[in-house]
């Protein structure tokens, strides 16, 4: 059977336990060398009937899930991989209700699965953006509260300088023709925003922002140009439209699919939207759904997220939980 290219094909392909297992093994150990996730020994024997390995290094067994975001979950790989496929390929995101209906788990379980997958999509890049010849936009917006409309947000913040108490400030940095990085910030104060710019953008990059005063002073280290939105939105190369487009995608996803997002979880939705945006198909990069899925799967190794990490509670509120409190 050919590797899946659409959601329907993925569901069929992953429904076979042996096939989904082999697919996951190839993603995790592409060179075919099975390495123990605990002790990194290469000496092991495969117990075919139970689809696990016995490691001669640490004398313990391990499964394909150990050391991944699927660890300790009793859910099958078929369900996990279908959920990963959906979240990385549905442009406007996917809700826990859609996952619940598609793969037959409870909505609570689907909610937890989505958060774990978002964790895997988080990009831990320490490489700075920009550099000679590249153009980087920086902008912020507010998420949450009643005013979802971008222009209302902008009007409010210009008048009051804040986005309202119930909103979270979100900052975006976008390299034109490249990736975005988006983060929740405690405020839009100069110290906060400029620190993020310096953390993420190489000096001397061409930098474009709006006329927010918090950006004053960046011209010392960057080729900083300002577009004053009170006057116009575009002046040749000087604009922040890449981020304006990203904000509208993000707000459509959050407003349309997720209904409401608690500030505590907001960064995970930002990671999810950034992942889809950064690996979208463009003229220069013909990435398809299957490639995007494989990329997401390659990021699951080494990332774990427990119920208490997510909620701050040590116990799941539900009965019938696993040792780590994952609702089933």
- Which is closer to Zn ion, CB of 11 or CB of 58? 58
Query: Which is nearest to 184 in space by CA: 252, 94, 254?
Result: 254
Q: Exactly one of 51, 52, 54, 57 binds Zn ion (CB under 5 A); which one?
A: 57
Strand 206-210 and strand 223-227: pairing? parallel
Instruction: Write the DSSP string, 76-117.
Output: -HHHHHHHHHHHHH-TT---HHHHHHHHT--HHHHHHHHHHH
**Cβ atoms within 10 Å, residue 7:** 16
Q: Closest separation between CB of residue 29 and Zn ion, Å?
A: 14
Strand 44-47 and strand 135-143: pairing? unpaired
Q: Is 36 in the site for Zn ion (CB under 5 A)?
A: yes
Q: Closest separation between CB of residue 325 and Zn ion, Å?
A: 26
- Which is closer to Zn ion, CB of 32 or CB of 186? 32
Alpha-carbon distance 194 to 175, whole Å? 16
Q: Closest separation between CB of residue 200 and Zn ion, Å?
A: 37
- Which is closer to Zn ion, CB of 35 or CB of 87? 35
Sort 52 into a burial class: Cβ within 10 Å, 0-12 / 13-18 / 19+.
middle
The Cβ-side half-sphere exposure at 57, using a 13 Å CA radius, reads 13
Q: Is 52 in the site for Zn ion (CB under 5 A)?
A: no
Q: Is 55 in the site for Zn ion (CB under 5 A)?
A: yes
Alpha-carbon distance 220 to 209, whole Å? 15
- Which is closer to Zn ion, CB of 41 or CB of 92? 41
Strand order in the sheet with 44-47: 44-47, 52-55, 61-62
Q: Is 66 in the site for Zn ion (CB under 5 A)?
A: no
- Which is closer to Zn ion, CB of 36 or CB of 250? 36
Sort 122 into a burial class: Cβ within 10 Å, 0-12 / 13-18 / 19+.
middle
Q: Closest separation between CB of residue 36 and Zn ion, Å?
A: 3
Binding residues with Zn ion: total (CB under 5 A): 7
Q: Is 63 in the site for Zn ion (CB under 5 A)?
A: no
Decide: helix, strand or coil at residue 238: strand
- Which is closer to Zn ion, CB of 38 or CB of 154? 38
Q: Closest separation between CB of residue 62 and Zn ion, Å?
A: 7
Q: Closest separation between CB of residue 324 and Zn ion, Å?
A: 21
Q: Is 41 in the site for Zn ion (CB under 5 A)?
A: yes
- Which is closer to Zn ion, CB of 36 or CB of 183? 36
Q: Is 300 in the site for Zn ion (CB under 5 A)?
A: no
Q: Exactly one of 11, 25, 58, 185 binds Zn ion (CB under 5 A); which one?
A: 58
Helix or strand holding residue 168 (H, E): strand 168-175
Q: Exactly one of 5, 9, 21, 38 binds Zn ion (CB under 5 A); which one?
A: 38
Q: Closest separation between CB of residue 59 and Zn ion, Å?
A: 8
- Which is closer to Zn ion, CB of 34 or CB of 180? 34
Query: Which is nearest to 268 in space by CA: 67, 121, 108, 92?
Result: 121
Q: Closest separation between CB of residue 119 and Zn ion, Å?
A: 25
Residues that bind Zn ion (CB under 5 A): 36, 38-39, 41, 55, 57-58
């Amino acid at each position: 059977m050919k590797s899946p290219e659409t959601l329907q094909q993925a569901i069929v392909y992953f429904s076979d336990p042996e096939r989904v297992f082999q697919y996951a093994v190839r993603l995790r150990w592409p060179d075919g060398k099975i390495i123990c996730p605990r002790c990194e020994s290469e000496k092991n024997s495969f117990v075919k009937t139970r689809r696990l390995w016995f490691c001669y290094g640490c004398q313990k067994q391990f499964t394909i899930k150990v050391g991944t975001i699927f660890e300790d979950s009793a859910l099958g790989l078929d369900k996990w991989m279908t959920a990963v496929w959906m979240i990385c390929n549905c442009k406007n995101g996917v809700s826990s209700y859609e996952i619940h209906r598609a793969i037959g788990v409870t909505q609570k379980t689907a909610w937890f699965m989505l958060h774990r997958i978002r964790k895997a999509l988080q990009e831990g890049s320490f490489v700075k953006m920009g550099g000679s010849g590249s153009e980087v936009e920086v902008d912020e917006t507010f998420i949450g509260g009643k005013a979802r409309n971008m222009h209302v947000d902008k009007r409010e913040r210009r008048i009051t300088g804040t986005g309202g108490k119930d909103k979270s400030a979100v900052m975006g940095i976008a390299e034109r023709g490249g990736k975005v990085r988006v983060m929740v910030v405690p405020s839009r104060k100069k110290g906060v925003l400029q620190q993020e710019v310096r953390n993420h953008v190489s000096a001397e990059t061409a930098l474009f922002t709006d006329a927010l005063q918090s950006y004053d002073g960046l011209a010392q280290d960057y080729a900083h140009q300002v577009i004053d939105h009170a006057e116009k939105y575009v002046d040749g190369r000087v604009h922040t439209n890449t981020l304006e487009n990203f904000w509208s995608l993000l707000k459509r996803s959050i407003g349309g699919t997720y209904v409401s997002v608690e500030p505590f979880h907001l960064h995970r939705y930002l990671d999810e939207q950034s992942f889809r945006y950064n690996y979208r198909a463009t003229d220069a990069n013909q990435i398809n759904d299957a490639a995007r899925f494989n990329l997401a799967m390659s990021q699951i190794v080494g990332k774990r997220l427990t119920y208490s990490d997510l909620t701050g509670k040590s116990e799941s509120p539900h009965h019938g939980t696993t040792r780590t409190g994952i609702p089933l």
